[in-house]
């Protein structure tokens, strides 16, 4: 097979800092690819009224694989006011480019693995008897990525046809007389196809990597229709995986159990919103945003990204102090996806060694407040961290 072409989308703030670090590691492990740069982010919103230009979509369409750093999003009013003067009041509306990318390419499956590295000073510890213990977490969160509360079907002051239709539901009675401008509706839409596909992906992964359970983390006792459909599909699919147990937790209870027995969970499946919540919760147990990697996978296109944002308060710092691991681990997920798991494992092993040795630590791993002074306090720069990982390959 010829060299792969990978679309690199550094984006804003620290996204543009960490992405080249991942490429250095990919190079060092001997992964040969062509990289094509693609525009995304705030700059293109300001200049073109579109944070996700069509030319970027075209590149992804053509090459199918993307590595993405992070973007900056701002609230509606702020976005409108920063638009170039000649584009103001021309009807441009800001949409998050990452959400846009997920919708455009139907990147239905978001996978967010959260696995503790031994020796990470940020690992969760739990009181036990007179002392503490450190449960090793190893979960793979499957978040439905295109539907649910993030599908964008929402209104403040819904149009009359929508209100009329909703009024046919008996539970709308108490909202019947609320004035339109005082009524906001965000819909939670699940399709059977998407529920089936995300559950199937979780069971397949559990089988492949030897997880003993798949947990549906929703709230079917209250959100009966949507969460209920997810649960139903999971039960059906489980019949094909007799060796894997199906568990069911409610999102609220799951957030509490997170700190009681996180080591008990394997694969977890959720809709879009709850998947976003539970994945941040688990990420917090294994080191937080500096370690949280993710994949957005569709039938054709896949995009890999750290879950952190553009961290604007650190973007000007030179040298950069942020932890490149989330980005590098996201690149490892890309390698897994394209059948280069051996290289991914070598990179993860190098990261594990750097963490276990504890000699090179970014500011987050030292529990410092970020700022230019962290280097004086002994924190490694982003570049030094990447160098240390490369040295252990």
d(C-alpha 279, C-alpha 284), whole Å: 9
Residues 364-383 that bind ligand NAI (CB under 6 A): 364, 370
Residue 309 binds ligand NAI, judged by CB under 6 A = yes
Which residues, other chains included, contact 210 with Cβ-Cβ below 8 Å and sequence gap of 6+?
Answer: none
Cβ of residue 271: shortest distance to ligand NAI, in angstroms? 18
- In the bound state with ligand NAI, the residue whose beta carbon lies nearer, of 71 and 360, is 71
Rounded (10°) angle between helices 382-391 and 325-337: 50
Are 355 and 281 within 8 A, CB to CB? no
**Which residues touch 208 (CB under 8 Å, ≥6 apart)?**
none
Site map (CB under 6 A) of ligand NAI, residues 55-74, x = contact: ---------------xxxx-
276 binds Mg ion (CB under 5 A): yes
Quick check: 360 binds ligand NAI (CB under 6 A)?
no
40 near ligand NAI, judged by CB under 6 A: no
Q: How far is the CB of 142 from ligand NAI (least distance, A)?
A: 18
**Cα angle at 131 between 130 and 136, to 5 degrees?**
140
Shortest separation between residue 366's beta carbon and ligand NAI, angstroms = 11
Based on CB atoms, which residue is closest to ligand NAI, 70 or 237? 70
Select the residue whose beta carbon is closest to ligand NAI and give its number.
Answer: 309
Closest to Mg ion by CB, 147 or 276:
276
CA 387 vs CA 117, 171, 321: distances in Å:
19, 59, 13
From ligand NAI, Mg ion, none, interface partner of 296 (C-beta below 5 to 8 A by class): none
Residue 326 touching ligand NAI (CB under 6 A): yes
Of 229 and 390, which has the nearer Cβ to ligand NAI? Answer: 390
Residue 276 binding target from Mg ion, ligand NAI, none, CB below 5 to 8 Å by type:
Mg ion
Shortest spacing between CB 279 and ligand NAI, in angstroms: 12
Which residue bears the tokens 């390419």? 105
Query: Which residues 6+ apart lie within 8 Å of 390 measured at CB?
Result: 24, 25, 28, 350
Structure tokens at 174: 């108490």
CA atoms lying within 13 Å on the CB side of residue 362:
26
CA–CA gap between residue 351 and residue 360 (Å, rounded) = 11
Task: Rank residues 8 and 73 by Cβ distance to ligand NAI and give the closer one.
Answer: 73
Query: CA-CA distances (angstroms) from residue 291 to 283, 352, 366, 368?
Result: 7, 12, 14, 16
* Number of residues lying near ligand NAI (CB under 6 A): 19
Number of residues forming the site for Mg ion (CB under 5 A): 1
Give contact residues for ligand NAI (rule: CB under 6 A).
Answer: 70-73, 98, 289-290, 305, 308-313, 322-323, 326, 364, 370
Which residues in this chain contact Mg ion in the complex, by CB under 5 A?
276
């Amino acid at each position: 097979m010829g060299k792969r072409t990978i679309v690199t989308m550094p984006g804003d703030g620290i996204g543009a800092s960490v992405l080249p670090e991942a490429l250095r590691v990919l190079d060092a492990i001997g992964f040969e690819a062509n990289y094509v740069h693609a525009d995304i982010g705030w700059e293109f919103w300001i200049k073109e009224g579109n944070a996700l230009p069509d030319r970027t979509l075209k590149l992804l369409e053509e090459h199918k694989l993307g590595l993405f750093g992070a973007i900056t999003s701002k609230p509606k009013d702020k976005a409108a006011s920063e638009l170039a003067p000649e584009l103001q009041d021309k009807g441009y509306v800001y949409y998050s480019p990452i959400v846009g990318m997920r919708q455009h390419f139907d990147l239905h499956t978001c996978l967010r693995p959260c696995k503790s590295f031994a020796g990470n000073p940020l690992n969760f510890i739990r009181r036990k008897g007179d002392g503490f213990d450190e449960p090793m977490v190893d979960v793979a969160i499957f978040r439905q990525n295109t539907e649910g509360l993030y599908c964008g079907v929402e209104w403040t002051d819904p149009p009359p046809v929508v209100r009329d239709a909703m009024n046919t539901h008996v539970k709308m009675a108490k909202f019947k007389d609320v004035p339109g401008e005082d009524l906001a509706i965000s819909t939670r839409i699940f399709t059977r196809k998407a529920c089936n596909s995300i559950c199937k992906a979780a069971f397949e992964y559990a089988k492949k990597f030897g997880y003993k359970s798949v947990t549906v983390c929703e709230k079917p006792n209250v959100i009966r229709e949507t969460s209920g459909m997810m649960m139903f599909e999971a039960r059906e699919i489980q019949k094909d995986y007799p060796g894997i147990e199906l568990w069911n937790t409610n999102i609220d209870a799951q957030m509490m159990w997170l700190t009681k027995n996180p080591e008990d969970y394997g694969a977890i499946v959720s809709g879009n919103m709850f998947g976003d919540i539970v994945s941040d919760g688990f990420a917090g147990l294994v080191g937080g945003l500096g370690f949280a990697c993710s994949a957005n996978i569709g039938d054709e296109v896949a995009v890999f990204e750290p879950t952190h944002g553009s961290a604007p308060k650190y973007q000007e710092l030179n040298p950069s102090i942020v932890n490149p691991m989330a980005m590098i681990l996201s690149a490892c997920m890309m390698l897994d996806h394209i059948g280069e798991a051996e290289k991914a494992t070598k990179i993860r092993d190098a990261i594990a060694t750097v963490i276990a040795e504890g000699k090179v630590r970014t500011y987050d791993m030292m529990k410092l407040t970020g700022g230019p002074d962290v280097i004086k306090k002994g924190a490694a720069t982003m570049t030094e961290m990447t160098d240390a990982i490369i040295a252990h390959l």
